[in-house]
Amino acid sequence: MVNLLLLLLGLVMDMAPLIVIMTPVLLPLVQSVGMTAEQFGVVMIINLGIGLCTPPVGNALFTGCAVGKTTLEKTTVAIVTTLHCDDWCVVLDNIRTMDNDDRTKTTRVNEIKDKPFSEAVEPITYC
At 43, the amino acid letter reads: V
- Residue 116 located in a structural domain: no
Number of structural domains (the chain) is: 1
For the beta carbon of residue 50, count every other beta carbon within 10 angstroms. 22
In-domain check, residue 109: no
Amino acid at 57: V
Q: Which of 21, 28, 42, 45 is nearest to 53 (CA)?
A: 45
Asked if residue 119 belongs to a domain, the reply is: no
Residue 121 lies in a domain: no
Instruction: Answer whether residue 82 is part of any domain.
Output: yes
Q: Is residue 94 part of a domain?
A: yes
Q: Say how far apart CA 40 and CA 11 lie, in whole Å.
A: 19
Tens-digit pLDDT profile for the chain (127 aa)?
788 888 888 888 888 999 999 999 999 888 887 778 888 898 898 888 888 887 777 778 888 888 999 988 888 888 877 777 777 777 776 666 655 555 445 455 556 566 666 665 555 555 5
In a domain, 115, yes or no: no
Q: Is residue 81 part of a domain?
A: yes
Distance between first and last Cα of the chain: 39
Range of the domain at 85: 2-101
